[in-house]
Structure 1
Amino acid sequence: MRVRPRLWIVPVLTVLVAVAAALPAFSRPGSGAADRAGAVAPAKAGDARRPVARDVVLAVHGGAGTALRRETTDPRKEKAYRDGLADALKAGRRVLRDGGDSVAAVEAAVRVLEDNELFNAGRGAVFTEDAGHELDASIMRGADLAAGAVAGVRSVRNPVSAARLVMEKTRHVMLAGEGADDFAARNGLPTVTQDYYWTQRRWDELVKAKHPGKTPQATKRHQADEEITGTVGAVAVDRDRDLAAATSTGGMTNKMTGRVGDSPVVGAGTYAKNGTVAASATGHGEVFIRGAATATIAHLIEFGGRDVASAAYEVVVGRLPRLGGTGGVIALDHEGALAAPHSSEGMVYGYLTEDGEIVTRLFPDESSPAG
């Protein structure tokens, strides 16, 4: 009897081998949208897909960018950054201890950072292409999704407070330019002239940006420095488990006059919704706008069943770099889990726990996940 060749065996075996190879990937914990969308880069320090701290009530950031390094950071500079973050956290802590809500806490924290010329918000803001200063800020309340923002202000000492006024005293979400300045002044906020924001460091950065390779000696000093963007932000959860977030910035050095980044844009630089997340971002603003960064984190939690750390990591490290930009975010859930992933080399941030402990993190090796 003649035996027919079983030609079907080869394709069947090929399919079985492919299925067997795929099974481990389907069984991996945490696989899903992030894996289907493409491989996510490994965390730079520890596992950034886990919270960096728990039982947190308030967190602040001072910008993302090229990492500060222990071996090259002057001790005075390190102390200045840590003190600046700690002062902001202490201001928020006073509010929370006195029974204030999360909105008041993030405003208080950001105001301190705006007054510190080390950061790029308020005093110490960067220069536009015409050697001026235009500042942006936003704030959002998670309980009812109320939000306020200002963009391109030129005479408000504390833009975050102007953003809160927009949220609480108008039917609008964002005011811009001269109208925002006038609104803040009419409502009693302190005003300043442009020279209030001026610092030698930021002027040198503008000169460097306009004349690369032909910088004065003062600017050459900064070429050796590891710098961060300096945008500031805060997130908080209060005793009622209400979330809030705020962000403030001077923008980008040598930016076009009238340019607005992600910091005042709800859903890009700032977002807060009870039961999901309070988030404040820092980095390449145009990319954070295009990727709807902070709102996407909230949606991954609400509709995708993700935890705060994996959601924030997927957006900041997994998605935004594919759009051409890097940065970081602080993201806090209503249970006090804090995530601080960044696709940039570094990000400076700090946090306050329920028992009153203040922690500041400047260097990449400090960002280990919580147990």
Structure 2
Amino acid sequence: MIVASLAIHGGAGTIPRANFTPESYKAARDGLRDALRAGWAVLSKGGLAVDAVEAAVVALENHPSFNAGHGAVLNAAGDHELDAAIMDGRDRRAGAIASARAIRNPVRAARRVMEASDCVLLSAAGADAFAREQGLEMVEQAYFTTPLRQQHWLRAQEEQAGLLKRERSEAEKHGTVGAVAFDDHGNLAAATSTGGYTYKRAGRVGDTPIIGAGTYAANGVVAVSCTGMGEFFIRRGTSHDIAARIRYRGESLEAATAAAIADLTEDGCGAGLIAIDGAGRIALPHNTEGMYRGSVTADGVVSVGIYADDFAVVD
């Protein structure tokens, strides 16, 4: 009997409801559904949690609605610098890359760092070189760029010049994708991937590839993937803090994740996260207008949502 469960997010920086077209709304929800199906295809066959989170995040990296891979935001120099991490709760091995510029699927490179190197984190040219050595698919910068992200970059540039007529939305600023999974064997895993935030300083690295900040997994405890302004998550050590609350204080998943969001809210940070505990229970808290999110429960029911009131079962 399958006891597995899976959750994903596509970032807490969602498009304001009034600005969504029916087509873009459907595209985002379909992207979440397809990523869940990719991860669940692994779990439903008795596969490992770490394989499921990689599959789900690859699907999100390939979808232009989300800020990772194809569809990543541009930095202040007009370039893409990509971060990703993956962690296997079985032995707490982890791999991550930061400021990569040419790896089509950064989460795949993070997995290779975990399994084929003696490092946890590789950055910039070193990350790209390693990915090439590993035979991963490499692309030109133009692959990551979409018309929507170009518009977001131009609006950020206008803001810098004091020419902006309306405040930029959270979706125009940042976003992240991630997945957490609990498999039939009781294993947990987490993976996260992002382009960072629009107009970020070249070389800036957020919480996504920092183990214990934006990504963390430990069997019997919790798997966590975070989304929001990374500096706050780094300072708080958010994902490890959730694990510590559960492990050492005996807090429930709901209490531990709610406390983490409360801390970030106190910091003034728009934030969200997804988490699964050692019993396969799921939490999807956020303090923003919405968070692209979805889950598959042990009975195989797939649900996705963007706003607080539209989380629903999908075919």
The aligned amino acid for 2:296 is L
CA distance in 2, matches of 1:319, 1:224: 22
2:268 maps to 1:320? no
Q: Which residue of 1 is the match for residue 274 of structure 2?
A: 330
Deviation at 1:227, TM superposition (A): 5.6
Measured against aligned partners, the alpha-carbon deviations of 1:7-31 in whole angstroms (never above 9, x if no partner) come to xxxxxxxxxxxxxxxxxxxxxxxxx
Q: Which residue of 1 is the match for residue 126 of structure 2?
A: 179
CA distance in 2, matches of 1:227, 1:97: 36
Structure 2, gaps ≥5 residues long = none
Q: Which residue of 1 is the match for residue 13 of structure 2?
A: 65
Structure 1 residue matching 2:309: 3-state secondary structure:
helix
2:220 maps to 1:275? yes
Q: 1:118–1:230: 8 Å Cα contact kept in structure 2? A: no
Match of 1:344 among 282, 288, 292: 288
Q: 1:242–1:274: 8 Å Cα contact kept in structure 2? A: yes
CA distance in 2, matches of 1:225, 1:324: 13
Q: 2:35–2:59: 8 Å Cα contact kept in structure 1? A: yes
Structure 2 residue matching 1:303: 3-state secondary structure:
helix
Match of 1:356 among 295, 300, 312: 300
Structure 2 residue matching 1:239: 3-state secondary structure:
coil
TM-score (normalizing by structure 1): 0.79
CA distance in 1, matches of 2:169, 2:265: 26
The aligned amino acid for 1:258 is G
Measured against aligned partners, the alpha-carbon deviations of 1:202-230 in whole angstroms (never above 9, x if no partner) come to 11111110113647xxx99x968976833
CA distance in 2, matches of 1:339, 1:198: 32
Structure 1, gaps ≥5 residues long = 1-54
Deviation at 1:65, TM superposition (A): 2.6
Change (3 A) 1:195 1:117: same
Deviation at 1:75, TM superposition (A): 2.0
Q: Which residue of 2 is the match for residue 124 of structure 1?
A: 71
CA distance in 2, matches of 1:164, 1:224: 32
CA distance in 2, matches of 1:279, 1:247: 9
Larger Rg: 1
Runs of 4+ in 1 over 4 A off after TM superposition: 222-228
CA distance in 2, matches of 1:241, 1:199: 39
CA distance in 2, matches of 1:349, 1:356: 16
CA distance in 2, matches of 1:335, 1:365: 26
Change (3 A) 1:228 1:276: farther
CA distance in 2, matches of 1:87, 1:349: 12
The aligned amino acid for 2:222 is V
2:24 maps to 1:74? no
Change (3 A) 1:260 1:226: closer
Deviation at 1:97, TM superposition (A): 2.4
Structure 2 residue matching 1:365: 3-state secondary structure:
coil
Q: 1:56–1:353: 8 Å Cα contact kept in structure 2? A: yes
CA distance in 1, matches of 2:142, 2:63: 15
Q: 1:67–1:363: 8 Å Cα contact kept in structure 2? A: no
Say what the alpha-carbon RMSD is for the aligned residues: 2.1
Deviates more, 1:241-250 or 1:89-98: 89-98
2:195 maps to 1:250? yes
**How many correspondences in the alignment?**
308
CA distance in 2, matches of 1:164, 1:249: 15
Measured against aligned partners, the alpha-carbon deviations of 1:176-198 in whole angstroms (never above 9, x if no partner) come to 01011010111110000101111
Aligned-pair identity (%)? 48
Deviates more, 1:164-173 or 1:226-235: 226-235
CA distance in 1, matches of 2:14, 2:101: 28
Q: Which residue of 1 is the match for residue 232 of structure 2?
A: 287
Deviation at 1:98, TM superposition (A): 2.9
Change (3 A) 1:334 1:247: same
Deviates more, 1:95-104 or 1:201-210: 95-104
